[in-house]
Structure 1
Amino acid sequence: MGTEIIELKVQVYNSGIQNFCKVTNKFSDADTADAFVFHSRNFYETVSFKFQILFKRNFPSLTLPLLKNIRKPNVPWIIWNIESPSHEKLPGEKNLFNWTMTYRRDSDFSARYGALEKFIKTANISLEGIWKYKNKTATWLGSNCQTPNNRFRLVQRMIQEGLEADIWGSCGKPTGLCDGVLKQTEPCVLDLIRPYKFYLAVENSNCKDYVTEKFWKSLEDRMAVPIVLRRETVQDLGVPDSAYIAVDDFETLDEFIQHVIKVGSDKEMYLKYHEWRKDYRVVFDNGFYGWCQLCKRLQDPEEVGRNRRSYEDVERWHSFEMCDDNYTIKFIT
Structure 2
Amino acid sequence: MKVESWLPFEHLRGWRPCRRGRWRTLKSQLLAASLTCTLLLVYACTQDFLYDPTHISLLWRNPTQPKQVTVLIWYEPFGKRRRLGDCHILFNITGCHLTTNRTLYQEADAVLFHHRDIGEFGDFPVATRSASQKWIWMNFESPSHSPWMTTLGDVFNWTMSYRVDSDIFVPYGYLFSKKSAKIVLPRKRKLVAWVISNWNEDHERVQYYNQLREYIDIDIYGRYGMDLRHDNIVKTVSEYKFYLAFENSLHTDYITEKLWRNAFKSSAVPIVMGPSRYNYEIFIPRNSFIHIDDFSSPRKLAMYLRFLDKNTHMYRRYFTWKKRYDVHVTSFWDEHYCTACETVKASGDEHRTISDLAGWYES
**Range of TM-score over shorter length:** 0.7 to 0.9
Q: In the alignment, what sits opposite 1:55?
A: none
Among 160, 164, 171, the residue aligned to 1:101: 160
Q: How far off is 1:37 after superposition?
A: 0.5
User: Does residue 305 of structure 2 align to residue 246 of structure 1?
Assistant: no
Shift of 1:177: 8.2
CA RMSD of aligned residues (A): 2.8
**Distance in structure 2 (CA, Å) of the matches to 1:6 and 1:295:** 14
State whether residues 168 and 343 of structure 2, in contact with CA within 8 Å, keep that contact through their aligned partners in structure 1: no
Count, aligned residues: 277
CA–CA separation in structure 2 for the residues paired with 1:176 and 1:271: 25
1:163 aligns with 2:216: yes
| Alignment deviations for residues 110-153 of structure 1 (CA, whole Å, 9 cap, x no partner) | 1210111133x5x13143x43xx100001110001127642112
Q: In the alignment, is the contact (CA less than 8 A) between 1:99 and 1:311 conserved in 2?
A: yes
**1:330 aligns to what?**
none
Q: Cα deviations across residues 179-205 of structure 1 (Å, max 9, x unaligned)? A: xxxxxxxxx222221101111001000
Deviation at 1:218, TM superposition (A): 3.6
User: TM-score normalized by structure 1?
Assistant: 0.75
Name the TM-score, length of structure 2 as normaliser: 0.69
* Deviation per residue, 1:215-270 (Å, 9 max, x gap): 00145421111111242331212x11111111101122211111111112221111
Residue 60, structure 1, aligned to residue 135, structure 2: no
8 Å contact 1:250–1:256 — kept in the other structure? yes
* Aligned with 1:39 (options 107, 110, 114): 114
Aligned to 2:207: 153
Q: Would you say 1:20 and 2:74 are equivalent positions?
A: no
What CA distance in whole angstroms lies between the structure 1 residues aligned with 2:297 and 2:157? 45
SS in 1 for 2:293: helix
Question: Which 5+ residue runs of structure 1 have no aligned equivalent?
Answer: 45-58, 179-187, 323-333
Q: Distance in 2 between matches of 1:226 and 1:18?
A: 33
Task: Return the alpha-carbon distance in structure 2 between the equivalents of residues 104 and 24 of structure 1.
Answer: 25
Corresponding letter in the other structure for 1:263: L
Instruction: Give, in whole Å, the separation in 2 of the partners of 1:209 and 1:287.
Output: 18
Which blocks of at least 5 consecutive residues in structure 2 are unaligned? 1-72, 77-83
Listed as ranges, the matches of 1:213-292 within 5 Å are: 213-229=257-273, 230-237=276-283, 239-286=284-331, 289-292=335-338
Distance 2:229 2:303 in 1: 32
Distance 1:213 1:286, change over 3 A: farther
- Corresponding residue number in structure 2 for 1:85: 143
- Cα-to-partner distance string for 1:259-287 (whole Å, 9 max, x where unaligned): 11111222111111111100111121156
| 1:295 matched residue in structure 2 | 341
Identity %: 29
Q: 1:175–1:227: structure 2 CA closer, same or farther, 3 Å change rule?
A: same
